[in-house]
Amino acid sequence: MSSKEDFLANVRKILGRSGAPAPVEPVAATGLATSHGDARSEAEQARTVAAERAGELFGVAAQAAKTAGWTVHRLENIDQVSKRVIRICRERNITSTLSSTHDVLERAGVSGALNNTGIRCETLRNDGNGTKDAAFATGAGITGADWFIAETGTLVLHPRQGTSRLVSIAPPVHIVVMEQGSVLPSLDELWAIERASHIGGELGSMVNLISGPSRTGDIEATIVRGIHGPIETHLIMVG
């Protein structure tokens, strides 16, 4: 094995995971572009791969997510999303939630459906002190996915206006709704997209990479969940 494979194998062993993730065919959009034109070209190539291999990558992502510790829910269409979110909340006696402003949540009618059933849903738009208390007091945070990495089972979120990072890291339960076409093969394709945004002056100050529930390991590699983030992460995959 290469040094990269050795490293990842050791990480999986420490986290108590067995076996390697399903192989993902690499693509060419992984170089270090030096000009904005080259960077945009590589980013577009990465997006094209996500679109053309959407079905294949969705299946690989589902398996990688399970390995990473996500609870995966596969749904056929977006009309089923709100019912599944409500069910997750009711099974955990959650009475209040926070959501991001991802388009998929609006199209699924998640906020309205929750409020109509008596489960409060508020949209958290920033990380100010007033909203911080609300984030840590609520039962679940609900977001979409800016991207998802098939190789590692990693959710990618860009905190921005309308998408507070607190939604995904403060509540004890994090629920993600994701559709086909938002899955990249590996982190290489993500960095190609991020690089183009950076060179073009469009990249925000941070990006959140979330690979399942929060985990903390001591010096003996004893893993404890939920110390610095959600103890449960649910991935609702639509399509």
Q: In terms of pTM, does the model score above 0.95?
A: no
Q: 156: phi > 0 → left, psi -120 to 50 → alpha, else beta; which? A: beta
CATH of the domain at 228: 3.40.50.10420
Nearest 5 degrees, angle CA 9-CA 25-CA 17?
25
Mean pLDDT of the chain: 86
Question: For 148-181, what is each residue's pLDDT tens digit?
Answer: 999 999 999 998 776 788 999 999 999 999 999 9
| Residue 8 belongs to a domain | no
Please give the torsion angle defined by the CA atoms of residues 220, 150, 233 and 212, in that order, rounded to the nearest 10 degrees. 10
Residue 238 is predicted with a pLDDT of 97
Is residue 26 situated within a structural domain?
no
- Host domain of residue 150: 53-238
Q: Is residue 15 part of a domain?
A: no
Task: Please list, in sequence order, all residues whose beta carbon lies within 8 angstroms of the beta carbon of residue 102, skipping any fewer than 6 positions away.
Answer: 143, 144, 145, 163, 177
- 78 occurs within a structural domain: yes
Of the two residues 234 and 17, the one the predictor is more confident about is 234
Domain assignment of residue 44, yes or no: no
Query: In this structure, which amino acid lies at residue 187?
Result: L
Structure tokens at 189: 């394709």
pLDDT at 15 over 80: no
- Looking at the structure of the chain, the number of domains it has is 1
Element (H, E) at 32: none
Instruction: Please give the Cα distance from 208 to 74 (Å, whole number).
Output: 23
Between CA 49 and CA 26 the distance in angstroms is 10
C-alpha closest to that of 180 among 19, 53, 25, 33: 53
Distances (CA, A) of 115 to 47, 82, 118: 35, 11, 5
What is the rounded CA–CA span in Å between residue 139 and residue 165? Answer: 16
Q: Which residues contact 172 (CB under 8 A, 6 or more apart)?
A: 139, 140, 226, 230, 231, 232
At 34-63, the pLDDT tens digits run 566 788 899 999 999 999 999 999 999 999
**Confidence bin at 26 (pLDDT 50/70/90):** very low
